[in-house]
Amino acid sequence: MSFYLLFFRKKNRLPNYFLGLLILMLSIRIGKSVYMVFNEDRVLLYLQIGLSACFLIGVMLYYYIKSQLENSKKVPISWKLHIAGLLCFIVVLGMIYPYEVYPELWRSYSARFIYAVWGIYLVLSGYMIRSSILKIFKKGQAFTTQELWLLLVYTSTLLIFIAYNIGMYRWYITGALTFSFALYGIIFFLLLKKNRAILFQDPPAKYKAKKIETSEADEIVHQLEVIMKEKELFMNPDMKLKDLAKEVQISSHKLSQLLNDNLGKSFNHYINEYRVEKAKALLKEENPYTLEAIGFEAGFSSKSSFYSIFKRITGMTPSEFKE
């Protein structure tokens, strides 16, 4: 119970209510599975409630991710109507065709439809965090805490969905076991105080500004790339955020917001990526420079920072890369 209170406490932001509802719907669905496996004399109404909750898992995931990304403060009317429509549909269906009277209908057509709806919302939810998903396949990409969290919640729900679809024909308890492991992962993630502070509190005032529009962000990112390649500002080891912001003629705050929200990188990580690329180009050339000199030439302030950052981004040391 205390676990659910974490999401429903009054001081929490709106996204946490959707997360609480998502976990509640999953818990009801899992409870139905456990009840079905360990009870031979089953009350069919419990099975109907479990499948009905399953019908709402996808939409709760969808609106949780949407509200988290948009930092929503209240539920729009369109969201309420959407959720109310799905809720009314599954309730009316249960009243007209109760599980006790139409068990075969619920075990076949209704179950398939319910899982299909869940699957559709999984696709829609995945589309919203597609940039974070693509980062998984790109080497050297840094994740923000929010991105890691949303990937964890999304992946957990996806795995439970897959487990139920597989277990439906093989081992039915698979879904419940997957839920348990997913829940352990979520709890472990939340044990870190820093993660809780970021996810369950309003962001500081300086980050409350509306997210930069995609078209404007793309234009600024392109401008940054041109400036960094032509002027090679990263070669200055004392390069600061305000210096780069001045070059693109935007505020330091806006540049920081752009790097964090749109690129998922800190200023230091963004600059170090260019330094590493410069170092890699120098390492490929035939030149008399030592490894240490190459690091300084690329903009690193010390040999140790050059080695550690180079290995973190490329997965190998400068000497290994040169060989």
In angstroms, the CA 48 to CA 267 distance is: 52
In angstroms, the CA 43 to CA 35 distance is: 9
Structure tokens at 177: 């076991």
- Give which of 2, 8, 41 is closest to 200, Cα–Cα: 8
How large is the average pLDDT for residues 223-238?
A: 87
Average pLDDT, the chain: 77
Residue 176 has pLDDT above 60, yes or no: no
Other CB atoms closer than 10 Å to residue 190's CB: what's the count? 16
% of the chain surpassing 90 pLDDT: 8
Confidence of residue 105 (pLDDT cuts 50, 70, 90): confident
In angstroms, the CA 315 to CA 308 distance is: 10
Residue 205 has pLDDT above 50, yes or no: no
| Higher per-residue pLDDT: 144 or 248 | 248
Confidence of residue 4 (pLDDT cuts 50, 70, 90): very low
How large is the average pLDDT for residues 99-123?
A: 87
> 271-308, pLDDT tens digit by residue?
988 999 988 888 888 777 788 888 888 888 888 888 88
One-letter amino acid at 156 equals S
- Give which of 136, 142, 135 is closest to 272, Cα–Cα: 142
Other CB atoms closer than 10 Å to residue 304's CB: what's the count? 10
> H-helix or E-strand containing 42?
none
In angstroms, the CA 262 to CA 215 distance is: 11
| Higher per-residue pLDDT: 81 or 170 | 81
In angstroms, the CA 106 to CA 42 distance is: 15
Do 126 and 133 contact (CB within 8 A), yes or no? yes
How large is the average pLDDT for residues 238-263?
A: 85
Residue 151 has pLDDT above 90, yes or no: no
Do 182 and 159 contact (CB within 8 A), yes or no? yes
Cα 118 from chain centroid (whole Å): 18
- How far are the Cα atoms of 165, 187, 258, 290 from residue 266, in angstroms, in the given order? 40, 26, 10, 29
* Beta-carbon contacts of residue 243 (< 8 Å; ≥ 6 apart): 233, 236
How large is the average pLDDT for residues 77-93?
A: 91
**Most confident range, picked from 6-15, 129-138, 229-238:** 229-238
| Residue 12: per-residue pLDDT | 47
Residue 210 has pLDDT above 60, yes or no: no
pTM for this entry = 0.56
Residue 150 has pLDDT above 50, yes or no: yes
Confidence of residue 1 (pLDDT cuts 50, 70, 90): very low
